[in-house]
Structure formats: C-alpha cells, structure tokens
C-alpha cells in the first residue's frame, strides 16, 4: 500500500536516510545497495511503493552493454557529451530532478485536510478517485506536484482512475481484443514503434522494455475508439506516460486525454479538433499578442505549421521532459485550456526577439525553436498566467464552435442540421459484448450490448 501522509516522524526519517531534496524516482539504484541496514531497506520498500517507476534501470543496463559510448539521463534519454551542463549553468539536462520536502508536506497537509484524516493515517486507497477543484488545489498544482506523488495524483486529477474503476471492460480484455496483427492500425503502429522515441533507451529497439507496452496501449486505443483508430500523436504521449506510470494506468490516462481533456476528433484521421484549435489560437493571438499578430500577417507566417504538433502531443514532442512534467501537472488538472495559455506564454517570451527578426525564414525558425529553449517551468507558467490567465473555458469553447463550423465549410463537408458538428463533439467507444453476472443476465438477457458514449 502506498502511503501519502506518513507524518512528521516519517518525513524526518526520510530526510535522514535519503538526504533533503533528493528525488525519489532514483530509488532503484539505492535499493540495489547490499550494505543497506534492515531499517533503511524496510523504509525504502515502503516509500518506493508510491514512487514513479520509470523503466530506466532495466533499460539502461541493457543499452549500456550494447552501446557503451552513450550515456543516459535519469529518464533514459541518450545524452550527448556536448549537452552536459557547465558550472553554474541552468540547463535542464545539468540539473537533477529534485523533490522539495516543503512542497510534499503541503500536498500531504492538503490531502489530509480535505479527507478529514489525522497526520500519518491517510493512504492512497482512502483518497477519492477524483479531487474536487479549488483555489488551494490549483495553487499547489501550479507550484508543481512532488514527483513521487505524480502517478497517483495524475490519475485522480485527469479522471483516469475513475474511468479505470468504472470501465465495463478491463484493460486485460481490451488488450486481448486488440491483439490482431493484421489490422491496418496494427500494421501502422508497428512501423511507428521505433520512430516514437528513438533517443530513449526504453524505446530504442524492438527488445527495449517499453516497446511491447507501447504497442499494447496503442492497439488498445485503436480498438476501443474505432472512429479514431491510430494517430501518431498518441504514440508520443503514451510513450512519455510510460516513463512514469504502469502500463495499465498509462492506458487509462490516454483514455482520459481522448475523452475528457481535449475536444473530440483531436486524434481522428481528419485531425478536425486540433485544426480547429489552431484557428482558435490564431484568434487569441490577435487578442492577447497584437504585435505578434501584426508580424505574422506582414510575413504571411502560417503558425499552425509549427504549433499543431505542440497541441497534438500536449507538448510531449517539443519540450524537455522535466518541463513536460510541470506542464502536464497543470494540463491534467485544467485540460486543453492550458495548451492555449502556455503557447501564448511561450510566444510572449520570444515576442521581442521575433519582432527584431530580419526575414520570414528567421521568424519561422525562431518560432519552431521556442519550446526547446524554455528551461524554467516557473518562468513559463508565470508568463502564461500573466498573458492569458484571464482566458476561460467558456471563451475557448465559444471560439471552437465558430471555427469548427468555418473549417467544415472550408473543407466542403455537409453541415445539415448540425449533425456533423454533433458527431465531432462526442467520443464513442466500441460497441462490445461483455460478460454479465447471473442476476443481470436474468434481468436484461445474456446477449444485450453495451455502448459507451461520452458527450
């Protein structure tokens, strides 16, 4: 059982054994230390039950034998020698992932208070599957979720844990039903497995530990959402989730993203949802960044050629993994509104540099490089909230409806009695037969079917 709030004595003991400020994601190396005292070993066994389980340890050992010339960071990404940080450098690659003890205590106190438990008496199984939104919770999310608590909190903030527990089908059944190698989706997934995250030891070759897990998740999604099928954007998101979550939890997180956090048809073959959001973004730039809007118009820059992929992968394909963690903390709490706020924040941070650019090519290149140049998550979040903190879900949804209609008209699709728009505003899970209990079969019949629909 994973303990959330072990109390002051537990926290003091953690500090004494591990040292203040060390990330708990590196526990695998400490557990392998044969010199650990029985107390230390028992403590680590308890504490690591709630820590993220990246596949780094087994992957790194396997890869280091075959390719000793490479070194890997704590997440399994290959690091070139020239990427190493110099003294006093703020480069993300040069900074170890840390967990602030005070921030963890704040989270523990909030969970204890909202669940009416005494210090040290709260465990994950006693925490609700969803956490009600509040100003206090949002401030905690903005400051960052302690890394060891991310797997459990991400599942609750996104609604994934609720989906997992309420699902009529288990992940095992979904994997079994989607195991056909001959489908079009399965064949395309197979082609993309090694293209998704080739620089990470967990996905670099067919023997890497993350590859079969990614395959099962992507096939399961393609089977569960037949109107969506397989989209390359889901691969990058799923692979990133697998670095921190168990396979089944990563799958349900993907379901939460598809059904709840982004609009319908985001990952469809037409990419209608994400295309619509690019038009909404362009309109928001007119409102929030008028100087940049003028520059883009003068140089005829089609911004969606750059930003569509930012939205499609929820920034997983364009920012450093440590920055992604902070972005996803907020994304899983507030949904796709965050994608607009952070994009506007990034553009604002580079607005002066863009305006000083000499030509269209320079502007395009600077825009493309923005995410990879962001190093400080706190600076980005502050700028995003300063520029677009007033943006609301209602305002975004209003713009979405308008631009979706424009997009459908532009592409020559029929728009009769809003049927097309309605079809694009809901996600339908596969119609599937499921086993019923004896009493349910007597009441409703053995052959009744269940249709999963979210609007």
Q: Does the global pTM surpass 0.85?
A: no
Structural contact between residues 17 and 91, judged by C-beta atoms closer than 8 angstroms: no
The pLDDT confidence band at residue 72, using thresholds 50, 70 and 90, is: confident
What share of the chain has pLDDT > 90, as a percent?
Answer: 62
Q: What pLDDT is recorded for position 317?
A: 94
- Whole-angstrom distance, CA of residue 419 vs CA of residue 405: 11
Mean pLDDT of 211-236: 95
3-state percent breakdown (helix, strand, coil) of the chain, nearest 5? 60, 5, 35
The pLDDT confidence band at residue 171, using thresholds 50, 70 and 90, is: very high
Long-range contacts, stretch 440-447, CB < 8 angstroms, 24+ apart: none
Q: What pLDDT is recorded for position 70?
A: 76
From the CA atom positions of the chain, what is the Rg in Å? Answer: 23
Q: Which helix (H) or strand (E) holds 197?
A: none
- Whole-angstrom distance, CA of residue 126 vs CA of residue 116: 11
Convert the pLDDT of each residue in 100-116 to its tens digit. Answer: 899 999 999 999 988 87
State the Cα torsion 180-53-372-233 to the nearest 10°: 20
Look-up of token digits 């926290």: 11
Residue 432 has phi, psi (to 5 degrees) of -145, 150
Structural contact between residues 391 and 341, judged by C-beta atoms closer than 8 angstroms: yes
Residue 294 DSSP label:
H
- Whole-angstrom distance, CA of residue 436 vs CA of residue 363: 60
**Checking DSSP bridges between strand 122-123 and strand 3-5, what pairing results, if any?**
antiparallel
Complete domains list, the chain, with CATH: 165-261 (1.10.8.270), 272-396 (1.10.472.80)
Convert the pLDDT of each residue in 7-59 to its tens digit. Answer: 433 343 344 434 444 344 333 333 333 343 443 333 334 333 444 444 443 44
Structural contact between residues 200 and 213, judged by C-beta atoms closer than 8 angstroms: no
- Whole-angstrom distance, CA of residue 296 vs CA of residue 282: 10
């Amino acid at each position: 059982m994973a303990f959330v709030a072990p109390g002051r004595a537990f926290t003091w003991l953690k500090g004494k054994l591990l040292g203040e400020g060390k990330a708990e994601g590196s526990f695998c190396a400490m557990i392998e230390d044969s010199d650990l005292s029985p107390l230390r070993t028992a403590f680590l066994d308890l504490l690591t039950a709630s820590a993220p389980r990246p596949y780094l340890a087994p992957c790194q050992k396997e890869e280091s034998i075959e390719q000793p010339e490479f070194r890997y960071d704590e997440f399994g990404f290959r690091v070139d020698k020239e990427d190493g940080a110099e003294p006093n450098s703020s480069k993300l690659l040069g900074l170890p992932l840390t967990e602030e003890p005070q921030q963890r205590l704040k989270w523990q106190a909030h969970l204890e208070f909202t669940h009416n438990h005494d210090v040290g008496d709260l465990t994950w199984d006693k925490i609700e599957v969803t956490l009600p939104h509040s100003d206090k919770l949002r401030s905690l999310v903005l400051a960052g979720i302690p890394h060891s608590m991310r797997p459990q909190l991400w599942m609750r903030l996104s609604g994934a844990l609720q989906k997992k527990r309420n699902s009529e089908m288990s992940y095992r059944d979904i994997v079994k039903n989607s195991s056909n190698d001959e489908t079009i989706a399965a064949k395309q997934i197979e082609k993309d497995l090694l293209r998704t995250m080739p620089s990470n030891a967990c996905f670099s070759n067919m023997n890497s530990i993350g590859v079969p897990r990614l395959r099962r998740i992507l096939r399961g999604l393609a089977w569960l959402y037949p109107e969506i099928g397989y989209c390359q954007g889901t691969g990058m998101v799923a692979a990133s989730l697998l670095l921190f979550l168990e396979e089944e939890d990563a799958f349900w997180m993907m379901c939460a993203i598809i059904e709840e956090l982004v609009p319908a048809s985001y990952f469809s073959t037409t990419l209608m949802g994400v295309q619509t959001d690019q038009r909404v973004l362009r309109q928001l730039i007119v409102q929030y960044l008028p100087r940049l809007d003028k520059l883009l118009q003068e140089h005829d820059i089609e911004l969606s050629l750059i930003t569509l992929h930012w939205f499609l992968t929820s920034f997983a394909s364009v920012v450093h993994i440590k920055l992604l963690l902070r972005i996803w903390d907020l994304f899983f709490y507030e949904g796709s509104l965050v994608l607009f706020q952070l994009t506007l924040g990034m553009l604002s941070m580079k607005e002066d540099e863009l305006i000083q650019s000499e030509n269209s090519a320079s502007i395009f290149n600077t825009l493309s490089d923005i995410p990879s140049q962001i190093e400080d998550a706190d600076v980005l979040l502050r700028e995003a909230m300063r520029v677009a903190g007033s943006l609301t879900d209602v305002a975004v949804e209003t713009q979405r409806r308008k631009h979706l209609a424009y997009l459908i008209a532009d592409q020559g699709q029929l728009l009769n009695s809003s049927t097309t728009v309605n079809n694009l505003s809901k996600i339908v899970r596969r119609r599937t037969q499921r086993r019923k209990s004896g009493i349910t079969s007597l009441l409703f019949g053995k052959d009744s079917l269940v249709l999963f629909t979210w609007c």
